[in-house]
Amino acid sequence: MASGWGITGNKGRCYDFWVDFSECMSHCKLPQDCLLLREDYMECLHHNKEVLNDLSVVCEDACTYQGSCPHLVNTALPSFLS
């Protein structure tokens, strides 16, 4: 990952995000200054927001056809997604 080489031998898909985040961390006074860059990098690696969005679309479609949404009672994000 940090070498920049991806699985196909080219630059990895998240390498640019890593470089931005790494540069920010090396020059910032507080790690909190780089939270948005970290968030971008983690999203590139794990696609948590994308998966959550896809699941919400699927749930909304199910609710439309079933008429009720008991699985949407607690809409808080799981801790691993925040």
pLDDT in tens, 24-64: 999 999 999 999 999 999 999 888 888 888 878 877 777 77
Does the residue 35 lie in any domain?
A: yes
Task: Kindly report, residue by residue over 7-27, the tens digit of the pLDDT.
Answer: 788 888 899 999 999 999 999
Does the residue 76 lie in any domain?
A: no
Does the residue 60 lie in any domain?
A: no
pLDDT at 12: 87
Does the residue 13 lie in any domain?
A: yes
pLDDT at 46: 87
Does the residue 24 lie in any domain?
A: yes
Measure the CA angle with vertex 66, ends 60 and 70; round to 5°. 70
Q: Which range of residues forms the domain containing residue 28? A: 1-51
pLDDT at 71: 58
pLDDT at 58: 77
Does the residue 71 lie in any domain?
A: no
pLDDT at 28: 93
CA nearest to 82, candidates 45, 52, 37 = 52
- Who's near 52: CB < 8 A, 6+ residues apart? 77, 81
**What is the number of structural domains in the chain?**
1
Distances (CA, A) of 20 to 13, 15, 40, 76, 81: 13, 9, 10, 30, 22
Does the residue 16 lie in any domain?
A: yes
